């Protein structure tokens, strides 16, 4: 059996202080030499970057919409087995799941699937005894679903005096352990922008803030109680941390991955899956490099903030030309959201200024006043009768297959594509999207490869074929 100490920090709502407290707790655990691993519930890219800055290792996403329970438990266990303790950060409110009407894909759902004890972070600003019925309500509600995952509470934005005054009464009336409080810490707050928090590298003096935050948490949280709760988590079977891949590549195609300030939204497990299937990943910067890495066999252009760097991206003529030429020559490529925008003829920045881009997608990427097509989707390919008979005219996603994805963007395109079909998992809304061929897929959805490993294996096989043709 695998003993994997772990806890989740969840909350009644967004804005309760989960990310700040998670980062501070991770730093405190690291300072104690515990080598923590961290995970983010849901599809968010930025919170894991803050975790990674703290622990010095890549944080992972876990999402019970993207993956079935067995895969979710495997993805957790394979990383957690190498750590002294694992900290999972919840998403939104603890019970907020698909479409706002289900607990599926919620923090509660992930805690249930992974058997993780939950510490509820309650923003108690301006409250005293009124916090008791709030806590009791969250404890009672989980009875509807059968798993009593909430095992502790942290009171955020509460003074030491109020906490000490109320602690015994709260525990008496709720039956749950109070594991500390966090006073208002304005100089430890993290700024945000249109897609969420700012990037870790943009936070002035981040390391100092993290050390100060961890020092505060050492004083006001019951870290010994938190560690004891983590030890109470149920053990895993050893085989749950193992995965048998049915097929791997015979060679190692070089996949060039755009990675810089403009392109940095990647699921770490997506990249790891590519490597486990046999790919060699090489990183490059569309902002700073003059051209693609040598012997590139495939391209991966992820999301990020290209709109913040539109002028610099536009002026890097050598990089744009090499990418356009490679795509014209048939290199396999995947482009998501910001990477898709970069391939357009033009793209607007945040002020509405228009800049020429790679010119691979006819049309313009432009800013909209609100989120466009936000949320989870199931994707299938729109195969024509001709494509079904002629695979070389088809799509990377085979006929009858599905891959799961997520959209979150304030920009849109005059031509978002129509080679794939997106459908909401628990609603009627659906639409066409993505420019796709038998070697490429480019559009706004962020794909999660573990929901269909055959899709990425098919892409890597195309890169393998391209490598062979390039070397002839």
Tell me which of 23, 220, 337, 358 is the catalytic residue: 337
Give yes or no for a contact between 17 and 99, defined as CB atoms under 8 angstroms apart: no
Active site residue 337: yes
Show contacts of 223-229: CB within 8 Å, 24+ apart. Answer: 223/28, 223/32, 225/152, 225/177, 225/179, 225/180, 226/7, 226/25, 226/119, 226/152, 226/179, 227/5, 227/85, 229/7, 229/117, 229/119, 229/151, 229/152, 229/177, 229/179
- Report the alpha-carbon distance of residue 53 to residue 286 in Å, rounded: 23
Other beta carbons within 10 angstroms of residue 398's beta carbon come to 17
Give yes or no for a contact between 417 and 443, defined as CB atoms under 8 angstroms apart: yes
Show contacts of 79-84: CB within 8 Å, 24+ apart. Answer: 79/37, 79/39, 80/4, 80/6, 80/37, 81/2, 81/4, 81/241, 82/37, 83/35, 83/36, 83/37, 84/5, 84/29, 84/33, 84/34, 84/35, 84/36
Positions marked catalytic: 337
């Amino acid at each position: 059996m695998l003993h994997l100490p772990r806890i989740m920090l969840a909350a009644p709502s967004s804005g309760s202080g989960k990310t700040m407290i998670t980062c501070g707790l991770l730093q405190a655990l690291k300072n104690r030499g515990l080598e923590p691993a961290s995970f983010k519930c849901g599809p968010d890219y930025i919170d894991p970057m803050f975790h990674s800055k703290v622990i010095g290792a890549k944080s992972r996403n876990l999402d019970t919409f993207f993956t079935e329970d067995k895969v979710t438990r495997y993805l957790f266990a394979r990383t957690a087995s190498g750590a002294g303790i694992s900290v999972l950060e919840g998403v939104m409110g603890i019970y907020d799941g698909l479409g706002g009407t289900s607990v599926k894909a919620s923090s509660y759902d992930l805690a249930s699937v992974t058997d993780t004890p939950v510490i509820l972070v309650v923003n108690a600003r301006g409250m005293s005894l009124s916090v008791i019925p709030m806590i009791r309500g969250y404890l009672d509600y989980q009875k509807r679903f059968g798993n009593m995952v909430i095992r502790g509470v942290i009171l955020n934005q509460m003074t030491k005096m109020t906490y000490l005054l109320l602690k015994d009464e709260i525990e008496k009336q709720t039956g749950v352990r109070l594991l500390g409080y966090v006073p208002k810490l304005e100089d430890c707050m993290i700024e945000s922008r249109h897609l969420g928090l700012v990037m870790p590298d943009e936070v002035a003096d981040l390391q100092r803030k993290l050390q100060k935050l961890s020092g505060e948490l050492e004083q006001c949280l019951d870290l010994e109680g938190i560690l004891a709760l983590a030890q109470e988590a149920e053990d895993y079977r050893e085989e749950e941390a193992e995965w048998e891949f049915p097929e791997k590549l015979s060679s190692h195609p070089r996949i060039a991955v755009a990675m810089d300030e403009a392109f940095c939204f990647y699921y770490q497990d997506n990249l790891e899956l590519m490597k486990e299937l046999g790919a060699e990943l090489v990183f490059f910067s569309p902002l700073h490099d003059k051209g693609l890495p040598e012997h590139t066999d495939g391209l991966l252009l992820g999301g990020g903030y290209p709109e913040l760097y539109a002028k610099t991206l536009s002026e890097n003529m050598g990089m744009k030309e090499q990418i356009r030429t490679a795509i014209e020559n048939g290199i396999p490529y995947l482009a998501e959201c910001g990477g898709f925008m970069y391939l357009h003829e033009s793209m607007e920045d945040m002020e509405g200024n228009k800049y020429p881009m790679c010119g691979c997608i006819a049309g313009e990427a432009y800013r909209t006043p609100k989120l466009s097509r936000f949320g989870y989707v199931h994707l299938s390919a729109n195969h024509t009768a001709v494509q079904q008979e002629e695979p070389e005219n088809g799509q990377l996603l085979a006929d009858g297959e599905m891959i799961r994805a997520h959209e979150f963007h304030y920009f849109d395109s005059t031509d978002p594509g129509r080679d794939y079909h997106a459908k909401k998992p628990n609603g009627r809304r659906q639409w066409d999207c993505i420019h796709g061929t038998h070697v490429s897929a480019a559009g706004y959805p962020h794909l999660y490869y573990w929901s269909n490993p055959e899709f990425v294996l098919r892409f890597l096989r195309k890169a393998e074929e391209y490598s062979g043709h390039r070397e002839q």
